[in-house]
Structure 1
């Protein structure tokens, strides 16, 4: 069988495709890449469908041994990327041959990188997706993060073109992001003073941050709601629990919850948030639903029309 052997799995490396949709009714969350922008670029540079199965490498420390001739690309956080000990550029595709050693060191900027392989990793789907959700123990390899000795099958694809994303188009993860928010119907549970406090304050990312959500610390805000029934929760929802400290919910969030919500962070900005480490500063900005749609459409158009450089 052809593919990659996991020599060292890193702190948290997960198999992910575009996400698991249509199963909230049975309590299964979406999963998928926290930074969909970097994930899609890794696949595009390997000439894959944009939802093709790849690896999400959090913090770093991954070492793979190729047992196939193919092409790979690494996009996302600034992690030292080596092939056979030689430093290689990210945001472009590279050829590897059987026996080659692929290493991702520890991130110096950003938190998550994505490693794609031409044709994708051939992982059996679970509930219509290969995305790993460890809490639910589904997807990936038995619902677990990668372990030493795991094998990631894929096909040979060595002779295709190699591509690079121009440096001017590569994101800068060192900036403190401003998270754009569409207000939800529960925003009326926060009076105008509380809303002004929320949108004019700076928050710090705490160590309580994982794929379920990021807890922030800063100016507390209070709601007039004393209790509510649990209801479905969307990606990017900003829950305000009793202590008044916001929680931004992400891909592996629970499907229902009972805290009041200020609104939802748009997907482009949850991707930026996912690249931050504890101690990072963020702030929030209210935007309209119409502007959110325009921002998304323009970003998708830019992705499609961005010219990549053929390097081989």
Structure 2
């Protein structure tokens, strides 16, 4: 069990509550899926093992039993019993150890995993916390972690220390490019509007949360200003009446009627999820089949089916070598 100083926002997350959008339930899940998956891989956990997503830091907890943990995502100057520890690696923890995180100069989310995952009772086949739906989390009602919360985990013997290879560790910057798959109402935007969208630079505004990231910059306009509400995919880019893009994230609404120019790829959403307000964003058009191939390879990699070289070979066979 752990005692918390949870900071501004710490949430229990697994990979999400899928298959229920038709009844208005958002999937939720980790904002930075890449960091989440690596934390579980470091510990040989099931991919869906629950973790704590720590936003903005100022977090601390005390472990009441031996375990091994992994920290991934933003570097929040973590310490154990006052001694600095690195992220993107596993670490043996003894009963009574105190983990503390402060803040991050780059990135805003850190993931804390324990060996075999935190023991949290799910609802609708998931323990992912979606506050707006009132589902998931330690209280099963969508609440963020509070100081009085206790989380159970299995007592485990030490396992060898592991580190994520350097090539898989992102550099969380404030100047990013996001791959976009054309879709939805793409053809309803004039060619000039599409070119403007892909050539403009946008800024991440403070209006950003687990539902969506609102951007500011060159206004984009669609020939169709309103639509019959339709299902919304992860990463959909809405263009409301003011022409300022909104990128929909993990806790997005399940339907909407704004025109949507396309979708940001799932991998690039992890990059966006670590951006602070003021970050500069550009969009790059992405081929659907290339994006699908890369997503399949990523899934297979984390399921242990392929290594990096094999993944590159598969990608080249499916799409041709990258230029």
TM-score by length of 1: 0.94
Q: CA deviation at 1:300?
A: 4.1
1:289 paired residue number: 288
2:238 paired residue number: 239
Match of residue 4, structure 1, among 2, 5, 9: 2
Matched residue SS, 2:262: strand
Structure showing the higher strand proportion among its residues? 1
**Do the aligned partners of 2:80 and 2:97 also contact (CA within 8 Å) in 1?**
yes
Q: Does 1:227 align with 2:226?
A: yes
Q: CA deviation at 1:184?
A: 0.9
Matched residue SS, 2:151: strand
Residues 97-112 of structure 1 mapped to structure 2, 5 A cutoff: 97-112=94-109
1:171 paired residue number: 170
Q: Does 1:73 align with 2:70?
A: yes
**Do the aligned partners of 1:46 and 1:162 also contact (CA within 8 Å) in 2?**
no
Unaligned runs of 5+ in 2: 310-323
Q: How many Å separate the matches in 1 of 2:29 and 2:226? A: 31
**Do the aligned partners of 1:83 and 1:101 also contact (CA within 8 Å) in 2?**
yes
Matched residue SS, 1:109: coil
1:213-232, Cα deviation, whole Å (9 max, x unpaired): 00000000111113211110
Greater alpha carbon shift after TM alignment, 163-172 vs 94-103: 163-172
Q: How many Å separate the matches in 1 of 2:123 and 2:214? A: 29
RMSD over aligned CA atoms reads: 1.4
Matched residue SS, 1:75: strand
Match of residue 29, structure 1, among 14, 26, 29: 26
**Do the aligned partners of 2:174 and 2:275 also contact (CA within 8 Å) in 1?**
no
Residues 1-312 of structure 1 mapped to structure 2, 5 A cutoff: 3-6=1-4, 8-142=5-139, 143-174=142-173, 176-300=175-299, 304=304, 305=307
**Do the aligned partners of 1:179 and 1:282 also contact (CA within 8 Å) in 2?**
yes
When the two structures are aligned, how many residues end up with a matched partner?
A: 304
Q: How many Å separate the matches in 2 of 1:306 and 1:275? A: 24
Q: CA deviation at 1:286?
A: 0.8
Q: CA deviation at 1:93?
A: 0.7
Unaligned runs of 5+ in 1: 308-312
Q: How many Å separate the matches in 2 of 1:25 and 1:267? A: 21
TM-score by length of 2: 0.91
**Do the aligned partners of 1:96 and 1:158 also contact (CA within 8 Å) in 2?**
no
Matched residue SS, 1:262: strand
Q: CA deviation at 1:137?
A: 1.1
**Do the aligned partners of 2:71 and 2:110 also contact (CA within 8 Å) in 1?**
yes
